[in-house]
């Protein structure tokens, strides 16, 4: 007998825009996990290209106040 459970988080806090997270568990094992973010990409990666890895935290910390 399967002890399968599905957990759904329909609204994620602390995500810019909207998001959803679904997890399916069978016994003590996660068999599926899906994260969906419903926001158009903002392509911040493009202006980080060529930057030192030491610069990145200071730059991205100012993108969003979360």
- 17-53 pLDDT, tens digit per residue, is 678 889 999 988 999 999 888 777 777 778 889 999 9
The gap between the terminal CA atoms of the chain, to the nearest Å, is 43
What is the pTM for the complete model shown?
0.48
Question: Confidence band (pLDDT; 50, 70, 90) for 54?
Answer: very high
**Among candidates 55, 7, 9, 58, which has minimal Cα distance to 31?**
7
Average of per-residue pLDDT across 53-57: 90
Question: Confidence band (pLDDT; 50, 70, 90) for 15?
Answer: low
Q: Is the pLDDT confidence value at 56 over 80? A: yes
Report how far residue 40's alpha carbon sits from residue 52's, in angstroms, rounded to the nearest whole number: 26
């Amino acid at each position: 007998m399967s002890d399968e459970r599905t957990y759904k988080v329909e609204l994620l806090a602390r995500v810019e825009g909207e998001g959803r997270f679904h997890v399916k568990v069978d016994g003590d094992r996660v068999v599926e996990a899906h994260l969906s973010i419903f926001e158009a990409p903002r392509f911040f990666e493009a202006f980080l290209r060529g930057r030192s890895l030491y610069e990145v935290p200071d730059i991205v910390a100012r993108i969003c106040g979360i």
